[in-house]
Structure formats: C-alpha cells, structure tokens
Amino acid sequence: MSIHQPKARERHPAAPSSASPDPARPPAGLVREHRRRSLFAYLTLSPTLAVVGLLMAYPLYVAIDLSLRGGQIADLLNLERNPLTLDNYRDVLTAPGLLSDVLRSVVYTVGVVVPAFALGLGLAILLNKAFPGRRIIRPLVLLPWAVPGVVVSAAFSWMLDASYGVVNHLLRTVGLIEDNVAWLADPDTALIAVILPTVWKYYPFFTLVLLAQLQSVPGELYEAARMDGASPLQQFLHVTWPAVRAASSLAIVITGIGVFREFDFIYPLTGGGPNEATQTLAIRIYNEAFQYFEMGTAAALGIVTMAICGLLLKFAGRSVRREFS
C-alpha cells in the first residue's frame, strides 16, 4: 500500500504589489506633518518678511528710479517730470576718478579688516584663558563697539591734531619723530589717519565672535595636544584655528562689506581730502548728492557701489559656504 504524499507546493517569490509602500519614501503621515509645520512657519514669518521686504524694496526702487532720471532733480516726489535716461551711468562709469575711488575703497577696507581681525583674534585667545579680573576686562575690551562713530572720529581728530595732538607728543617723546606730523592734512598720512579709528571701532566685533567660538572648544583637545608635545604655535594651527576658521570667514565678510561703504569716520575727519586722498565711494556719493546736488549721479554711483559689494559678497560667500558645509 503506497502512501501518497502531497506534493510540496512550489514557492515563487511574490510579485511586488502596486499597493505595497516604498521603503525609500517617508510615511504619508510624516510628510503631511512636515508640510503642516512648514506652512505654519511661513505663515508666522510672512508679516515680518513683508515688512522687511517693503523696507528694502521701496528704497531700492526709489534709488534705481532716481539713477535713471536725467536733468536737475529738484523734487524727489515727482521724479516722472525728469526724462528716463542712462546718462547718469555713462557719466559715472566714464568718470576718470572712479577707478581711483574704487581702489581707495579697497585699500581702506583691507587696511581696516586685516589689523582689526588680527587684534580681535589675539584678544579673543587672551580672554579665553583664565586670569584674575577677566570678568571686568571682557566688557571693557568690547566697549569701543558701543561708541558712536562720530564720537570716535571727534576723539581721534583731537588725538591726531598737528599742533597739540597726543599722538605727536608720544611719538616725539620716544624719538620716532622730530617735528609734528599733520596726520589729517598730509595726503601721505591721511588714509592711515582714518584707518586707525575704524580699526579701533571694528576689532571688538571680531573679538566677540571669535571668543564665543573659542568657548565651544573642549579643553581636553588642548590637554591632549600638550601631552603629545605640541608647541603653542602647533596648538593654534591644529586646534584653535580649525575651530574659529568658519566664524572668521563669516566675520571678515560681514565687516568687509560694512567697511567698504563706511562713511562715519572718513567724512568727519577729512571730508575726503586732502586732494581726494581719502575720498572713497561713500564720500563721493555724499559729495555728488549734497555738495553738487547731482542726485541722479549720486544714485547711479550708489547702485554701482551696491553692485561691487554684491560681487564681493558672491565671491566671498563661496568660501563661507564651504567652511559651513
């Protein structure tokens, strides 16, 4: 008597069902929650974005409109009375002094940013260490950032005075000069004289940003470096600098754009002189608008300056994004 055993059922891989969920896709509930949160974020931000956009867009529109108007502009509320033209841009771009003003602005920016960054980095490293009185010294170091630029200019105007300035007195005392130097009236020294107060004003920003970044570095990294026999310079190159490099890039870009269009220190000290030795783009815009009353030319020059800042920001922004990526 044979025993008939049932045939083993062949197993075939189940065909993928069209209704089975794709493991690569997030669940539908999670997608709906993400969309709901994004919509809520945009709704809460929309009033602020609308106000900021209006405050930025309308002045920019007025400046562009003003730069495209020819003739003598006497009424800013009725610009349509003046014809549309590109003459202002032609005059600005073909002006013989434009390149000199741009180069002077670049020299002024580099002359401020480099020493301000070096001073800010050194103070940030010093203030990151523990020593008696650190809590008192920290706010004092940051104090120049809170002083208005006009007040700083007035103080340096007295300090750099050719007759009774304290700078000439100190330099004569240590034997570096024999006669008083007219720092603000000499074309060879005027640019240095306006760079000094700007550095004094801007170095606390670097100190604040870099000190905040340094305080996030674990002390164990320095301790491990010392145990490996690293010198202070090697500790800076392999521990400190990698920690502050991204923040340094961002701070340099922000400060550089601000200094490139700086006005508060140059005009009160020299007014762009002597012999245009300190005339940057910002000073020239002011002179065109309020000394020669060429509003269209001043607006066109402002648009050109904004375009230059935009190009600098575009190239510098690449390095910043690379540091933060």
Give 65-82 pLDDT, tens digit per residue: 888 888 777 777 777 788
pTM for this entry:
0.80
Query: Is residue 294's pLDDT more than 90?
Result: no
Residue type, 104: R
Predicted pLDDT at 20: 59
Scan for tokens 């405050």, then name that residue: 55
Q: Which residue has the higher pLDDT, 21 or 243?
A: 243
Residue 1 has pLDDT above 50, yes or no: no
For residue 135, pLDDT over 60 is answered with yes
Q: Are 165 and 183 in contact (CB under 8 A)?
A: yes
260 and 109 Cβ atoms separated by less than 8 Å: yes
What is the pLDDT averaged over residues 151-178? 89
Neighbouring residues of 109: CB distance < 8 A, sequence distance ≥ 6 = 256, 259, 260
CB 63 within 8 A of CB 275: no
Distance CA 239, CA 213 (A): 12
CA angle 126, 128, 132 (to 5 degrees): 75
Tokens of 132: 């008696």
Return the higher-pLDDT residue of 198 and 23. Answer: 198
Residues 150, 268 contacting (CB under 8 angstroms): yes
69 beta partners: 84
